[in-house]
Structure 1
């Protein structure tokens, strides 16, 4: 009998189901795009039933295409995006669409909390910042705007926990998702009743999932889920972690001298600490399933999804050309950018297409009639690296900041040698890339491996399942050029924000 692990990763754009062996090798992957429901400006939702259906379809296809016997599965573990929320009734049925972490409907609510002083009380209690797609703020919005939804809700569930409930009926969460949700005091490592008291919404407390360790088998696949997925009834189901933490585990992120970087929809930077840090104040802070460390994370929606938008919007001909050559359009993008690296590029790109709260307009600056597609692509690559440097600097500044000397890198740009080198040059740290492509799912599978007893600890699982494959060292001459561009990038952002805010104030005054 072969021993296999399955990791599920329900991310912002795709739901993926991935098969691994106990050495951490990715054997097969099935994926489906997730439909986004946009009912109103700022609302970003998902049909939870459709997401579960995608998981079921992917699982059946994965087993059939690989010829894997359901009896070979040692454990299955879900993961998914942090923040957002799924609200279900006592039968586990969604009472409304799930909300994705990129949702911004709570911005006016957060502004009110800052004005009333509630934010000042909340932040030291949850030991994280407040942000629009955070579960805590979304629960407050539901109480105010959809009281009938609140009344019908029996359970509040993060993404992975909703999927695990469907697999085996378990209602719980882990310490990583609980912290990401803003529901916990990280120091006490428990649900913060104080936070819910500050917001006058104690009614939610009985509906919250109780947090526990990630590396625990919490049940077996139910008879119904077995019929729907093709899995064997009773297959062990592990609690797991949310995707940012999963990516950290899958890249061997385990010490304070490392900076974990994920370049995807969000620009994500994380450091490890022995206790929570408030200076700098991270976007998200939670317990990490290695040596009881705390992971501090800065996250903004400013990363590689900007390239995806550009490719889909402007590169129809290039997509067709890449297909004719039997290659990915993103491989073609890498070729085009590589061809520009011997010449200067003064174009600035501001990667704020999804980052309305920051108040900085997205777009290009400095183009001329001589600018070509390859030049614009390189500007995107460098602009994304620049905003990562900006966020990294914020996370690494302050008396409680970590002092890492190497990056562990994940996300789409990790598959591009030219983009990875730009990141190393711009951020001024060696960059290391480990084995595997679907790292959120791999981190989930690693939790399953520990829970099932294949490894004695997560550190042990890292040694057995994570291998360093590539390393990029900053190029001194290129770094000098990029740092000069970074200074121009920052100056332009600050000027743009000031002008944007002036225009918004003028528009409000005129409307009044």
Structure 2
């Protein structure tokens, strides 16, 4: 058995996973996301670590009661943002979330003077306000004393691993954005220099070799109720963990993570940077040789649904009925789903992108607004997956994939069957898969991939949504100049 942990933006989950990829038990606990003036979105590292301790202790107790020995602790979690720590792992100020927008002005300058384009040409990673590059630059300009007090500028997963093992490390998937030359797994000195961040190179931990395992220290073992020295696997972070946990295997296959982030990713066998294309998305290193993920992580996924349900005064358990009450096309209502305060990051970067509804009338019903937003998110998913190079099968996971009606919309918009794993905790599942590989005990991937339901597209709906998708793309082209004028 392996305990897989997924440290999400607002919820931490731990599962006891067997070699068939099934969770025997899962525990979860919420953590606080602080939204502050100036676009700041922060988390307290101590609280996040405590959330991990609580769920792992609960799973460990269940494993012991069932007489199931634990082989390893596999950790995944949210990516991007900036988690500053000192040499002992104590936080140096609150962690800056990937949702943080305080660096939007930095990014606007980098767009204007070509820095964004130059970094993309070097690493294939487009930056957005909540990525490490502009956040580091913002702190260097406004809070340089924090950087002077820090020993490491990393991410959520490696912050937790440092607390549990004493090791300063980073998984290559986390390190990929925005300074890593992904094929060589080394930092690009030119990219750092372009951002004016060469003086802070020492804050970046060296990426751990693929298959690296760490050991749980004595104090953390006692806190977690696990054996001292237990192997600890650190990463990949949640997006690639979900890709592998959901069964992605062949080059060209895609995974759609319908969570807080709408994570769209395609497995590729080479890194190909379109130097003249849109400087958006990222290339991620994976635990496997000659396998990379082209990722287009739209800023907002299920948060759009939460917002529209709240706006019309409906509950989540009413979603199926609402989607059934409105036909494809939502009674003539169309939406754009760019509701994040920090704009959009994929498949284009617009820090001031904003959402909208069009086609409203006195006949518009709450169900139409809900369906229009769900269709808009599905259009965004197709836009991102196609931009990432999708040619094969598509799997889906995350909270949004639990809805049969919304899953059907995704399948119809994509025009492809949508494969949804029965096991909901695919992030922890992917982390456990990586851990078993590192232990030299790889699991049967075909067995894992077979544990899923398949949502097949309806031909008439596919034809309808093909027209709707073209209208969606045209709407974005019309409104982008409006967003850009707002930045001037």
1:425 has 2:412 as partner: yes
Equivalent position SS for 2:49: helix
Tell me what 1:287 maps to: 285
What does residue range 108-127 of structure 1 map to in structure 2 within 5 Å? Answer: 108-127=105-124
Tell me what 1:57 maps to: 54
Equivalent position SS for 2:263: strand
Tell me what 2:206 maps to: 210
Shift of 1:148: 0.7
Conserved? CA contact 1:6–1:20, under 8 Å: yes
**Structure 1: how far apart are the matches of 2:353 and 2:110?**
23
**Structure 2: how far apart are the matches of 1:267 and 1:186?**
23
1:446 has 2:433 as partner: yes
What does residue range 273-312 of structure 1 map to in structure 2 within 5 Å? Answer: 273-279=268-274, 282-312=280-310
Q: Deviations over 1:219-244 (max 9, x none)?
A: 2x222112322222222111221100
TM-score for the superposition, normalised by structure 1: 0.87
Equivalent position SS for 1:72: coil
Match of 1:230 among 225, 231, 235: 225
Tell me what 1:382 maps to: 375
Conserved? CA contact 1:45–1:100, under 8 Å: yes
**Structure 1: how far apart are the matches of 2:377 and 2:483?**
21
Q: Deviations over 1:291-348 (max 9, x none)?
A: 4312111112132211122334443xx54xxxxxxxxx33x31133124348963211
Structure 2 regions of 5+ residues with no counterpart? 344-349
Q: Deviations over 1:475-501 (max 9, x none)?
A: 221112222233333344444444455
Shift of 1:434: 2.2
Match of 1:270 among 265, 281, 304: 265
Shift of 1:123: 1.9
1:362 has 2:355 as partner: yes
The count of aligned residue pairs is 478
RMSD: 2.4
Conserved? CA contact 2:251–2:392, under 8 Å: no
In structure 2, do the counterparts of structure 1 residues 64 and 194 end up closer, same or farther at CA, with 3 Å as the change threshold?
A: same
Q: Name whichever of 339-348 and 232-241 sits farther off.
A: 339-348
Match of 2:333 among 347, 352, 372: 347
Q: Name whichever of 58-67 and 131-140 sits farther off.
A: 58-67
Tell me what 1:411 maps to: 398
Match of 2:246 among 230, 247, 251: 251
In structure 2, do the counterparts of structure 1 residues 184 and 84 end up closer, same or farther at CA, with 3 Å as the change threshold?
A: same
Q: Deviations over 1:180-202 (max 9, x none)?
A: 3x121113221222222333332
Q: Deviations over 1:344-364 (max 9, x none)?
A: 632112211115433443232
Shift of 1:403: 4.9
Tell me what 2:131 maps to: 134
Equivalent position SS for 1:212: coil
Shift of 1:38: 2.4
Q: Deviations over 1:382-403 (max 9, x none)?
A: 12112222223333xxxxxx35
In structure 2, do the counterparts of structure 1 residues 210 and 360 end up closer, same or farther at CA, with 3 Å as the change threshold?
A: closer
Equivalent position SS for 1:275: coil
Shift of 1:367: 2.9
TM-score for the superposition, normalised by structure 2: 0.91
Tell me what 1:481 maps to: 464
Conserved? CA contact 2:330–2:371, under 8 Å: no
Equivalent position SS for 1:370: coil
Shift of 1:5: 0.7
Shift of 1:245: 0.4
1:469 has 2:452 as partner: yes
**Structure 1: how far apart are the matches of 2:482 and 2:199?**
43
Tell me what 2:153 maps to: 156
Shift of 1:264: 1.6
In structure 2, do the counterparts of structure 1 residues 262 and 115 end up closer, same or farther at CA, with 3 Å as the change threshold?
A: same
Conserved? CA contact 2:266–2:385, under 8 Å: no
**Structure 2: how far apart are the matches of 1:228 and 1:467?**
37
1:194 has 2:190 as partner: yes
Rg larger in structure: 1
Structure 1 regions of 5+ residues with no counterpart? 320-328, 396-401
In structure 2, do the counterparts of structure 1 residues 489 and 464 end up closer, same or farther at CA, with 3 Å as the change threshold?
A: closer
Tell me what 1:260 maps to: 255
**Structure 2: how far apart are the matches of 1:342 and 1:238?**
44
Shift of 1:474: 2.3
In structure 2, do the counterparts of structure 1 residues 230 and 271 end up closer, same or farther at CA, with 3 Å as the change threshold?
A: same
Equivalent position SS for 1:297: strand
